[in-house]
Amino acid sequence: MNQSRRKFIVAAAGTMVGAERAMAASQDSGPKAQSHQESHIPRDKACDYSSSYVTFVTQDETNFARLQVESRCLVLDQEGKLLEEFFQYASCKAEDTHGEDRDLFQDPNYDFSGIFSREHYAIYRCRAPQTGDIAERGPVEPRFQEVRFQIRPARNVQQLDHVDAIIKATLQGLPLVGRTEICDKATGYRAIMEYPVKTINVRPSGNVYQVDTGPVAFPDFDAEAERLVDRMELSYVAYNRDCEAHFIILRATPVTVRDKEVCRVCHYSEFRRMPAKNVLMSATLA
């Protein structure tokens, strides 16, 4: 195991205490767990992505930004203990927040999105052309005064164990939730990515399906980084069987003209094809 891997394990273990406390709280289904400030669901329960949010509060409470959750990622150690739970939220455009008598969208503009755990954050600013780093990453405090989690469980979740069940649920218009699990062979760490299935293709006559959806919070186990948050990236996921997943990851991507790089843009351009365990579930309509 190389030095980077050792540092990764030590750094990840350092987040375990806070994460385990969060998971202990997630078992509480009483009023406290469903408060406006903090709510949790057990990791074996699927999220209702239509009504789950993270809200960051800026210093001095100058702004409360509520962001709809689009995916979550649980990173587990070799023994299955939770190291950190990440929530990826929907993108918006750079704005003059609470502006008066002026343009609300910034010019030049950029796409704003990100990921929160209860300990760390990553903010992605995608510009055209892209200059500097795509992501800003760090501990939640002191960057934010507070981050609130309103994570709600989906109702009447049913695992779709056969392709015909996937096709039936798709054509019935039921909400679908996917889970994709990958493993890092070097450390034994696992990641479970969960997400609403926004796009799925089916062909009943051939009894086949194909998921193509995202973005999702993707843990890049190959990255040279110590903290888990420094390995989190945005990706789309595609698959048409339960044992393999294809990912395409957001990167600063060169644009070339006559073999000469003229600029870089943010684009989903890095491909990964990985062994995986894919599960699809249906839920009750809201």
Q: Which conformational region is residue 128 in: left (phi greater than 0), alpha (psi within -120 to 50 degrees), or beta? A: beta
Task: Read off the pLDDT of residues 122-148 as tens digits, 9 standing for 90 and up.
Answer: 999 999 898 888 999 999 999 999 999
User: What does the pLDDT look like over 63-112, one tens digit per residue?
Assistant: 999 999 999 999 999 999 999 999 999 999 989 898 888 888 999 898 99
pLDDT, position 41: 82
Cα separation, 49 vs 177, in Å, equals 9
**Which letter, b or e, does each residue of 242-262 get, where b requires 16 or more Cβ atoms within 10 Å of its Cβ?**
eeebbbbbbbbeeeeeeeeee
User: What is the spatial distance between Cα 85 and Cα 12, in angstroms, rounded to a whole number?
Assistant: 12
The residues, ordered by sequence, that sit 6+ positions from 65 with a Cβ below 8 Å of its Cβ are 55, 56, 58, 97
Six token digits for residue 159 = 């695992």
Whole-Å CA distances, 131 to 8, 111, 254: 28, 13, 11
Q: Report the alpha-carbon distance of residue 217 to residue 183 in Å, rounded.
A: 15
For 267-286, what is each residue's pLDDT tens digit? Answer: 999 999 999 999 999 998 86
Q: pTM of the predicted model, to two decimals?
A: 0.86
Q: What are the tokens at 135? A: 């992501």
| pLDDT tier at 226, thresholds 50, 70, 90 | confident
**φ and ψ at 128, to 5 degrees?**
-135, 115
pLDDT at 174 over 70: yes
Which tens digits make up the pLDDT trace of 182-205? 999 999 999 999 999 999 999 999
Confidence of residue 7 (pLDDT cuts 50, 70, 90): low
- 57 in Cβ contact with 142 (< 8 Å): no
